[in-house]
Amino acid sequence: MLLLLSLFFFIWQLVLLFGVRHGTTIVNIITQHAIDLPLSLLPAQLWFWSIQLLLLIAFTTVIWLLTRLYSWCFHLSEQRTEYLGVGLWVFSVIGVLLANQYLNRASAFAELLATLLPQSFSKVLLAVWLAMISGSLLVAIGIAMKRLMSIKWMVSSIAVCVFGFLFFAVHIPLVKASRTVHSQQPNIIFIGLDAVRPDYLGYYGHQPDDTPALDQFFSQATNFTFSLTPLARTFVAWSSILTGQYPIHMGIRFNLIDQRYLHLQNTLSFELQHYGYYTVYGSDEWRFSNMSKSFGFNQLIGIHPGANDFVLGTINDFLLSDLIVNTKVGERLFPYSFANRAASNTYDPDAFLTLLRQKVSRIHYRPLFLAVHFCLPHYPYIWKGSPTNLPPEQLYALAIRRVDQQFKQYMAFLKQEGLLDNAIVVVLSDHGEAFDQPGDRLISANNYLAGAIHRKDLFAALYGQGEEHQELSESNGHGTDVLSLSQYHNVLAIRLYGKQHNVPSKITAMVSLIDLKKTILDLLGLPVRQNDGLSLKPFLFGHHLDLSSRMFFIETGFSPTAIQGKRINVQDVVFEGIHVFAIDPKTTHVVLKDRVLPKLISLKERAVYYKNWVLAYYPDHQKYISILLNRATGQWTDDLSIPFAKHSPAKKMKAAMQQFYGSSEPL
């Protein structure tokens, strides 16, 4: 009877999760054959559902054992035992619901219960529930022990247990044997913070109480206050960091690109491997970033990327698994949920830190290239214990505050491990984020300069096909708009520990993530090959480097219109993009289909930044809308024949754009 009740309980969870949250999307993908699902996905799927059923059986078994214990202790009849079993089952389900609301505020069931019960009241009820279950259990155990054992026998048993504990405690070494590793070369440590805008940090003028750990680091670092990412998407940005190249030159212009055709022998990680470095990359989110050992990493830390992450990491929001997913047991039972930022409903920031400590502390090799990317500030900006009913920009601010705590704990761990004794530490964000706020786009209707050949429906064309914007100056997401500095302006700071010391400063020159490879190799005195970036080493030691003539090129990624509005519908995003993806049957990685790449490339926006000027091209029905902007005045036009354009470097910038992209991508 209890198993039957638990089965109905599980079916109710399935109905809620599949029917309300994910069902339409996942079921439609399968029934409409929108994407081929290879058999290589099956083992992980079978494991997942088997564990869910075993948890259900274990839950039921515990209730049955408790029922039998109470029945035996209090001499209950069989009928009363059945009533007690049903009552305990209902009482246990209530406890699980309350615990889920307290521990996982972002889960589907916590949101459901929150409509009936405030969070503060649920804490009180959970405390009462724990007191009742603990008290009744202690009474039952006391009665059972009294009936089974004499007092003398019980005292003897306790004495034996205490003696055994003390014996093993004395003979087990409590202090880990220290290891001393000497290396002349410094450790190279990259710390990535996903989607972090500089203006949301205290050091850059935001509330200092929000990011004290990062602010303290920046105060001792050389900060590059106008750093641009070549493409505001995680995988492409990190690929540019490692290769020192623009997306068009390295062949990585989208997330989830098929890596079989890439030539990555000259990445920073491969170069450092050649000079004796052990190279590691870790991240708490791999869903759209298939970083692999082909980039030159000896070791990867995080979940196995692929289609099962998309499916199992998304649907694993069941009540019982939610309670254990962030434990040591959960790490083994649910590998696609533990320390997985993409599984936002159950993601615990401390779980990823625990995973990092476990993996990194076991690495004996020195020198070490350790690149770790924290994805907490990424959309949807919620995690296990966060509120869910706030506007996106407020949730984002809370995520920034929480990632600052992650950064503080991680830096303390690095110091404890001795990794900062001699190190070059780079703190960066791969891109920023826009929230459809005024100023998230550099252009506005008030500053438009019309020419004789201006486009009549220009504003409508620039709004895009997503949800309507209130102003031209608004933009949303990241990697969607080349005129959004909120998206393309990233954090970049470098600090030297140990033998060398940098000059703490703010550098206003235009730099980029593609400069990091050459900078690191220059600091190490190593040669550089195939590189688009510049060395920023002079800035670190207080020297001037004239970058006033530098031009920097950026472009957008693949942006379904469903992600460009203020309210993102996950199902619309999936179905708009699903036909451009495939699943590699060997690796189970989700990859872009080769045949769609020319079309997606033709839809890219492109821009060149030069001093205070921006020249941008927006695709529009086999043509391009050209936008010329002066960032200092805010004035802009789409007519390059007016005096505003003729007295600008537009001609020079246009020629540079045409040379950069070549004849294969005419503008």
Q: What is the DSSP letter of 220?
A: T
pLDDT tier for residue 209 given thresholds of 50, 70 and 90: confident
For 61-86, what is the mean pLDDT? 92
For 560, the token pair is: 């379904």
Q: Give the mean pLDDT of 622-628.
A: 89
Confidence of residue 665 (pLDDT cuts 50, 70, 90): confident
pLDDT of residue 389: 85
Residue that wins the pLDDT comparison between 261 and 510: 510
Q: What is the mean pLDDT of the chain?
A: 88
C-alpha distances in Å from residue 60, one per residue of 53, 57, 319: 11, 5, 14
What's the whole-number mean pLDDT along residues 563-581? 62
Domains of the chain, earliest start first: 2-171 (no CATH), 187-302+339-440+475-563 (3.40.720.10)
Instruction: Name which of 268, 204, 229 is nearest 430 in CA terms.
Output: 229
Residue 42, pLDDT above cutoff 50: yes
pLDDT band, very low/low/confident/very high, at 89 (cuts 50, 70, 90): very high
86-94 long-range contacts (CB < 8 A, ≥24 apart) are: 86/1, 86/2, 86/5, 88/63, 89/2, 89/5, 89/6, 89/60, 89/63, 91/129, 91/133, 92/59, 92/62, 92/63, 93/9, 94/129
Place of tokens 């769609």: 596
**The two three-digit tokens of residue 123, written as one number:** 């804490």
- Residue 164 pLDDT: 56
Q: For 390-411, how does the pLDDT look when each residue is reduced to its tens digit (9 = 90+)?
A: 999 999 999 999 999 999 999 9
pLDDT reading at 167 higher than 70? no
pTM assigned to the model: 0.90
Collect all residues with Cβ–Cβ distance below 8 Å to 462 and sequence separation of at least 6.
Answer: 443, 472, 618, 625, 627
Which position has the higher pLDDT, 457 or 433?
Answer: 433
Tokens at residue 130, please?
A: 């724990």
C-alpha closest to that of 296 among 277, 309, 321: 277
Q: Which helix (H) or strand (E) holds 108?
A: helix 108-114
pLDDT digits (tens, 9 = 90+) for 274-330: 999 999 999 999 988 889 999 999 999 999 888 888 888 888 889 999 999 999 999
Q: Convert the pLDDT of each residue in 233-251 to its tens digit.
A: 999 999 999 999 999 999 9
Q: What is the 3-state secondary structure (H, E, C) of 320-343?
A: HHHHHCCCHHHHHHCCCCCCCCCC
Is the pLDDT at 464 greater than 70? The verdict is no
